[in-house]
Amino acid sequence: MTEKNYELKKKIKKTLDKDRYQHTLAVAYTASCLAMKYGSDIDDAFTAGLLHDCAKCIPNDEKIKLCDKYGIRLTDIEKKNPALIHAGLGAYLAEHKYGINNKDIINAVRTHTTGEPGMSLLQKIIFTADYIEPGRNQAKNLREVRALAFTDLDKAVETILHDTLNYLNDKTAAIDPETERTYRFYYRGEE
């Protein structure tokens, strides 16, 4: 771990509750493993993993106020489900609070919940690591997705998106259109 990531890890620990911090470390280490497998920058993967949920423990009303203050546009889905705001707000904080100037890291934080069509390798790594980290145990097909993550990352992303959409449909929960668009891109090659 670089000195920069060591310092970032200490800062992030102060902003998250115990369980979220453990999840964050697991994502950072899982992302590092995926980065090694696919030849991505390991330090960037670790950094993005540390930052992916940096806004998660901010109370929802405060997240909304911060988005308003920083000019972060909220989608209708985010307004209805403020728990989703943490990705966009987290990307802003990664850049402006934690001093990250690597756009790929910032985009990986921004897209870790919904994905987006044409994701970079780092974006796919963080999206996948968040889903498969060892502390996760409730997702459908988790064993299959974990194996896919280390053999065919695009297929893992597609499977995560498919299972997420099915889960949300079964719960009759609001679905972010970006998740559907991302799934169509990875499943059918649609933009």
Domains in the chain and their CATH numbers? 3-188 (1.10.3210.10)
pLDDT at site 171: 81
Q: Read off the tokens for 83.
A: 């728990």
Q: CA-CA distance, 147 to 167, in Å (whole number)?
A: 20
Q: Tell me the pLDDT of the chain (191 aa) as tens digits.
A: 789 999 999 999 999 999 999 999 999 999 999 999 999 999 999 999 999 999 999 999 999 999 999 999 999 889 888 888 999 999 999 999 999 999 999 999 999 999 999 999 999 999 999 999 999 998 888 999 999 999 999 999 999 999 999 988 888 777 888 999 999 998 866 65
Phi, psi of 111 (to 5 degrees): -105, 10
User: If DSSP codes are grouped into helix, strand and coil, which group holds residue 140?
Assistant: coil
Give residues with Cβ within 8 angstroms of 104, minimum separation 6.
44, 48, 120, 122, 123
Helices 121-132 and 142-149 meet at what angle, rounded to 10?
150
Q: Cβ–Cβ contacts within 10 Å for residue 151, how many? A: 9
Q: Which residue has the tokens 């992030």?
A: 12
